[in-house]
Chain A
Amino acid sequence: MCKFCLKHGANGKWYLNAKNYLTKESEDFEQVRDYMEGLWGNMERLYMAKSGGARVSKALELAASPVIGAEVRKIFDEHIEKELHQNPDPRVAEGHFGQVIPLEEAKMITMDLADVNIKAMCHCKYNHRGIKQATCLGFTAVAEMLPKLPRYIPEKGVEILDADQVESFLENMNQKGMVHTVWAGPIPYIASICSCDHPNCIGLRMRLDFGVNAVLKGEYIATVDPNNCMGCKKCASRCQFGALHFSSVLNRPMIDVKKCFGCGLCKDSCEDNAIKLVDRELIPITRGKY
């Protein structure tokens, strides 16, 4: 389990702990709502924002440098890990990080744990290319502040999804090859479920291109059962993390467990049940590596 699970998970995964889902009655509600408004309202300028005198985009490039990279990444980690009681600064997305989850858990969260599911425009895709795509599902605090930020409301207007709509929405995103991620905002509360796409997701971009842990790996690892695989190659186009490639000699996919984020997209495309997700902790070399 990741370090946030140990702290906020109540012996389970932090994102499956009902305590981490905000309700309107919660005493932190107003503080979290204001935080979310600051976060979403300033997200377009995140790369260009200045934090400690340096632009975030420049700091990211330094984080990938071999000499001082480790120190810069440590500073980023401190920012990302700020909790609600430490008053995180929403304008530079302190206390806002994500974790990759498989489709089943995304459904579990949206249907059983979150009390409101509001459809929202993705601010990452907007930030990178100026395009608007409604690929995010916000929970209580997002639903409360979203009407104040009309640019994130889909064309049809504010849309609260019911259980069936949420299910088909998530399956649609999965079919398109988007990675499901759950986002903290701020820790320990869970703000939204997004459908992410490298490199137009700020979090995945930070993680994959610059090694900053803005998105944690999921709690699972994909494994292949060679006996079931028929060699259809459908999984080969699904991996965004460079962890899976199709070997024509073995006639089955090869998965690099060190790169696997456990998103389950390859598994969801498999019609022969040849790919399964196993717990990350069960494989010694991936244990504790998030």
Chain B
Amino acid sequence: MPRKKDPIKVDYDKCTSPEDCKICLNVCQPVVLILTFTDKDYHDPKDWKIVPAFPSLCIKCNLCVEQCPKNAINVAVQ
């Protein structure tokens, strides 16, 4: 089955302070989304981003899309 390259996209212009929000982290059932380091600095979680690390585990439940207060997440359904 052909898989789209990046089915889950996070808009980092809208998602600016994930460390305080973490709503998508808590609703994601298979824990596809994780809060992890960016290339800039990996010691301070304030600078970290929400990363869809394992898109192959995604069940397309769309909870993260619906509950994101800033509409920053987009999940492509094939």
Do A and B form a real pair?
Answer: yes
B54 sits at the interface (CB 8 A): yes
- Which residue of the partner chain, among A126, A128, A209, contacts B57 with CB atoms under 8 Å? A209
Q: How many contacts between A and B, using CB within 8 angstroms? A: 43
Partner of A44, one of B25, B31, B37: B37
Considering the complex, which residues of chain A in the window 4-62 have a beta carbon less than 8 Å from any beta carbon of chain B?
A: 44-45, 47-48, 57, 60-61
Do B43 and A128 touch across chains, with their CB atoms under 8 A apart? no
Q: Which of A64, A130, A199 contacts B35 (CB 8 A)?
A: A130
User: Given A128-B31, A130-B19, do A48 and B36 touch, yes or no (CB 8 Å)?
Assistant: yes
Q: Shortest distance in angstroms between B57's beta carbon and chain A's nearest beta carbon? A: 6
Task: Offer 23 A-B interface pairs, CB within 8 angstroms, sorted by A.
Answer: A44-B36, A44-B42, A45-B37, A45-B42, A47-B34, A47-B51, A48-B36, A48-B37, A48-B51, A60-B54, A61-B54, A61-B55, A64-B56, A127-B34, A127-B36, A128-B31, A128-B35, A128-B36, A129-B22, A129-B25, A130-B48, A151-B43, A199-B31
Interface residues on A, range: 10 to 19
In the complex the two chains form, is A200's CB within 8 Å of B31's CB? yes
Rounded to whole angstroms, the CA-CA distance of A228 and B31 in the bound complex is: 38
Q: Which residues does A use to contact B, with CB under 8 Å?
A: 44-45, 47-48, 57, 60-61, 64, 126-130, 151, 199-200, 209
By beta carbon, the residue of chain A nearest B18 is A130
Whether B43 pairs with A44 at a CB distance below 8 angstroms is yes
Residue of A nearest to B30 (CB): A199
What residues of chain B lie closer than 8 Å to A200, measured between beta carbons? 31
Q: Closest chain A residue to B43 by CB distance?
A: A151
Assess whether B56 is in contact with A61, with CB atoms less than 8 Å apart. Answer: yes
Q: Return chain A residues, CB-CB under 8 Å to B37.
A: 44-45, 48
Task: Pick the 8 closest A-B CB pairs, nearest first.
Answer: A130-B45, A130-B35, A199-B31, A57-B53, A61-B56, A128-B34, A45-B42, A44-B42
Supply 12 further A-B pairs (C-beta < 8 A) apart from A44-B42, A45-B36, A45-B42.
A44-B36, A44-B37, A44-B43, A47-B51, A48-B37, A60-B54, A61-B54, A126-B45, A127-B34, A128-B36, A129-B34, A130-B35
Q: Tell me the nearest residue of chain A to B39, going by C-beta.
A: A48
* B77 CB → nearest A CB, Å: 19
Residue of A nearest to B45 (CB): A130
Distance from A156 Cβ to chain B, minimum over Cβ atoms (Å):
20
